[in-house]
Structure 1
Amino acid sequence: MGLVAEFQIYCDALPLVSVANAVPDASIVCSLQYNHGRRPLFLATVTGSSEQAVERALTDAYDVQEWTRIGTAGDTRRYQAVPALSFEEQLGGQIDDLSGLEALATADAIIERITVTADGWEQMGWFADRAAFTEFSSFWQRNADFGLERLTRDAEPKPPGNGLTDRQLEALRTAYEMGYFEIPRRASLDAVAKELDISASSLSERLRRAQTQLIQETVATLWPPLPEAEKQ
């Protein structure tokens, strides 16, 4: 059995915290793309506040070298941000144990959600066992303020993506970033298929399977069964 933890790291030197301070009425959820070396790119999903205020905050942020808006849906916008600093450069003034920071990248854990706040990061993650969580939490207790909100036991963690295959994830992300899901659509099925170098019919099937999987894993599990009379 693994552990599911929800916690807050209070450290205003963490990436994008200055952006959260500049737009306190916005919700900022980010993820890291670790395949970009010592300066992993950030994908930030921002809901609320004005487009102008959010993008001005990204432009003014000392830890953002450049940013690109890659999708919009209602009042939610998605950005890719290139960091101006490595984690070691960004946190070096507040954290003495930089080798310990690097070790966290190989911890037996999956951080599924990072919400950026005005004073740090709120995170939810899966940890293989108590030792893995203790290693993680002890580091932040030594180097910043750490607040544990919830720690529960659960089944072994699933890989990120709610059971989607790599191809389904790629199709959903490409379609989203190109504006296929926007109203009105900014990209056709054929355009997205061409970007992925597959046929439109293959893309359509891939998207349907991905959407069905997401509904089964998220929305459907929350709904009570319909009475038999309503199903007919």
Structure 2
Amino acid sequence: MSTIAEIELPAEEFALYETLTAFPDAHFEVVRMAAHEEKLTPYVQVSGDDLSGITTALEADPTVSEAHLVDDLEKEKLFRMNWEGNVDVVLHMVGEEAAAVVEMHGRDTHWQLRILFPNRASLSSTSSFCEENELSFTVRNVYDLQQSAGRGGFGLSEDQYETLVVAAEKGYFDVPRSVTMEELADSLGISQQAVSERLRRGHRALINSALRPDESTIGS
């Protein structure tokens, strides 16, 4: 049974610790990521009121081997980076446990991740890996996707639940992806737009139910 885990990692044992602590009020979000052997290549969106000097900080960060500015707005910048060094835990989850990184947010001294595991055993294996390698790995919440089907649990509709599960099984959330949205749409017998809407609304329902239980799920 597919499992979603909300995980916290200390930046000091992972990536961008020096940059995050230098910009404690900025928000770092990984919007896309690929894994290659011993490094990660994420696209990171950085948001904040004062981002002056952020490029210099990234270039000096020991966990960043490359940082290219892709888009530059006044209070928001998008970088393509290469992370090396302390990224073993994510490489293990993606490479060894066939897990998928659904969300990754960094701020101040920590990273918050939402990981889709194939089952609870793969989550347990990741926890054991971190313990053996003396890495911090804090699990804040764990949910089984089946619990969120239909009217219960996360409040997913049957269509949203089916699309999320099929996407996970076929590797849509893998890094890199094993299936395109077009191929996913063909397997479900619906349009790409319908797949996109189901994924977007499904993610919103998961977030509202798991992280914002007091918020309305209207529009999900």
| TM-superposition CA deviations, 1:44-70 (whole Å, max 9, x none) | 111114232322321221222331111
CA gap 1:73/1:216 in 2 versus in 1, 3 angstroms: farther
Q: Structure 1 unaligned segments of length 5 or more: list them.
A: 92-97, 168-208, 226-232
CA gap 1:5/1:212 in 2 versus in 1, 3 angstroms: same
- Please identify, of 113-122 and 212-221, the stretch whose mean Cα deviation from structure 2 is larger: 212-221
| 2:124 maps to 1:108 | no
Q: What is the match of residue 149 of structure 1?
A: 140
| Identity percentage of aligned residues | 15
Which residue identity lines up with residue 67 of structure 2 in the other structure?
W
CA distance in 1, matches of 2:69, 2:200: 27
Please report the RMSD computed on the Cα atoms of aligned residues, expressed in angstroms. 3.4
Matches within 5 A, 1:44-193: 44-72=44-72, 75-83=75-83, 86-87=84-85, 90=86, 103-104=92-93, 105-142=95-132, 143-155=134-146, 156=165, 158=168, 159-160=172-173, 165=181
| TM-superposition CA deviations, 1:70-113 (whole Å, max 9, x none) | 12456322101134xx43xx47xxxxxx7x88654221311212
CA distance in 1, matches of 2:76, 2:90: 32
TM-score by length of 2: 0.63
Q: Residue 53 of structure 2 aligns to a residue in which SS? A: helix
Whose radius of gyration is greater, 1 or 2? Answer: 1
| TM-superposition CA deviations, 1:1-30 (whole Å, max 9, x none) | 311100112350312122111111111112
| TM-superposition CA deviations, 1:160-194 (whole Å, max 9, x none) | 39x96269xxxxxxxxxxxxxxxxxxxxxxxxxxx
CA distance in 2, matches of 1:2, 1:154: 6
CA distance in 1, matches of 2:2, 2:108: 30
- Aligned-pair CA distance for 1:120: 3.6
Q: What is the match of residue 218 of structure 2?
A: 223
| TM-superposition CA deviations, 1:120-150 (whole Å, max 9, x none) | 4221111111111100122224422322211
Which residue identity lines up with residue 97 of structure 2 in the other structure?
A
Which residue identity lines up with residue 118 of structure 2 in the other structure?
A
Checking the alignment, whether the CA contact within 8 Å between 1:17 and 1:116 is kept in structure 2 is: no
Q: What is the match of residue 25 of structure 2?
A: 25
CA distance in 2, matches of 1:218, 1:103: 27
TM-score by length of 1: 0.60
Q: Structure 2 unaligned segments of length 5 or more: list them.
A: 147-164, 184-190, 206-216
